[in-house]
Amino acid sequence: MAHINTNIRIKEKDLSSKFILYLTTISFVVTYIRTYPELIIQRNCKNTHQLKDHNAELLERILSNRREDEKMFTFLRPLSKGGSKATKLLIASNNAKFSTFGALQKGHANSNPHYHNIITESHGKVGLITLNRPKALNALSSDLFHEVNDALVKYDDDSNIGAIVITGSERAFAAGADIKEMSDQTFAQVYKSDFLGHWGKINDIKKPTIAAVNGFALGGGCELAMCCDIIYAGEKALFGQPEIKLGVIPGAGGTQRLVRAIGKSKAMEIVLSGRNFSAQEAERWGLVSKILPSDKVLDEAIKLGQDIANLSQPAIQAAKESINAAFELSLKEGCHFERRLFQSLFSLNDQKEGMSAFVEKREPKWTND
């Protein structure tokens, strides 16, 4: 009788494993059927803009499928402890699939579906703007820059955001302004429209901006990076102001910011010759804050943004304002301006909290007021 019971238990275990395997297989087939139309849509989309507009709907559908699948696997997971190796592997694989979908929810991408040249995401308290014209190496067209300005203003007004990161692709941060857009314009046209004037909007942003640079940062790309408060560069990043080779000069701050960052002699050499310079040279001259492996640049820039965003925001903005004033004021005027800002911060609760926390040897709890 014991022998018979043992055989029955073995058969029941085999049937249980087969049943679990059968349900798991059905789940994968159903998932494939659900997502197959989306693959066809992506294949037929003519450009990345169509794909971006479709992403929100696709993500919601995938996550809806995930919720339905998880209901079935809720009772399967406990059985994996006594199931076959194949069953355990399949359930582990399904868990990994859920984890992947969960990761999609962490970065809130395409917060504005009307953008066609950039992608915006929020990473905690950091706003991320990714230039997205890959075929043109992120050439800075007027449309792209208007979108960048719009995203910057939105992040600057968002109380949940404390720092902003601007990046491109691994191949190019931005390879320059859009030459095709400007090549046929006349003096009257560019003068009356104040061409490139809207590039200065970034200077009005109160929150810290960080450029995460990989690949080419030439012409307007170099100028955009220099407009940011901090530059992190990949080890293969390449900077330059080659406008002289087009019969013009930098027009968005290149001659002004470069000389302030690296000095007159080096700035003259770079602008007058139009030669490019490496990330290593940029760091040595003081243009770049830090050089990192190409695959670490963006992560480190976001991490720095998080560190900044976790501090007292009024103090951060005052510090940025004071540093930027150093480019406009004499040393005496600058020190006076700094001292007045320092004194004004004593009106804030954050000043009381920060100093009390230091004396009491604890972490401060910032309220940003």
For the chain, domain boundaries: 2-106, 118-309, 313-360
On whether the 118-309 domain is CATH 3.90.226.10, my answer is yes
Cα 256 to Cα 254: distance, rounded to the nearest angstrom: 5
Q: Give CA angle at 11 (8, 17), nearest 5°.
A: 140
In the prediction, which pLDDT does 99 show? Answer: 37
In terms of DSSP H, where are the helices of the chain? 2-44, 48-79, 85-106, 142-157, 179-182, 187-192, 220-227, 254-262, 264-273, 279-285, 297-309, 313-325, 331-344, 349-360
Q: Which residues of the chain have pLDDT under 50?
A: 2, 4, 8, 10, 29-106
Dig out the tokens for 130 from the structure. 């990714």
Cβ pair 240, 352 in contact under 8 A: no
What is the model's pLDDT at position 231?
Answer: 98
Superfamily of domain 313-360: Lyase 2-enoyl-coa Hydratase, Chain  A, domain 2 (1.10.12.10)
Q: pLDDT (tens digit, 9 = 90+) per residue, 274-309? A: 999 999 999 999 999 999 999 999 999 999 999 999
Instruction: Please tell me the predicted confidence (pLDDT) of residue 88.
Output: 45
How far is the C-alpha of 262 from the C-alpha of 266, rounded, in Å? 6
**Which residue out of 220, 254, 305, 354 is catalytically annotated?**
220
CA separation for the pair 149, 156 (Å, rounded): 10
Catalytic residue chosen out of the listed positions 175, 215, 243, 319: 243
Q: Using the structure block, give the residue that is written with the tokens 């050439």.
A: 139
Supply the pLDDT for residue 358: 96
- Please pick, among 163, 174, 177, 252, the residue that the annotation labels catalytic: 177
Q: Quick one: pLDDT at residue 185?
A: 84
Whether residue 220 lies in the annotated active site: yes
Give Cα separations from 238 to 255, 277, 314 (angstroms).
18, 6, 35
Q: Which of 223, 253, 282, 315 is catalytic?
A: 223
Q: Name 118's bridge partners.
A: 131
Cα-trace Rg, the chain: 27
223: phi then psi, degrees, rounded to nearest 5: -65, -40
Half-sphere exposure at residue 267, Cβ-oriented, CA atoms within 13 angstroms: 18
In the annotation, is 212 catalytic? no
pLDDT tens figures, 249-276: 998 999 999 999 999 999 999 999 999 9
Look up 243 and say whether it is catalytic.
yes
Q: Counting beta carbons within 10 angstroms of the beta carbon of residue 152, is it exposed (0 to 12), middle (13 to 18) or buried (19 or more)? A: buried
* pLDDT value at residue 127: 97
164 closest CA partner among 120, 101, 134: 120
pTM: 0.70
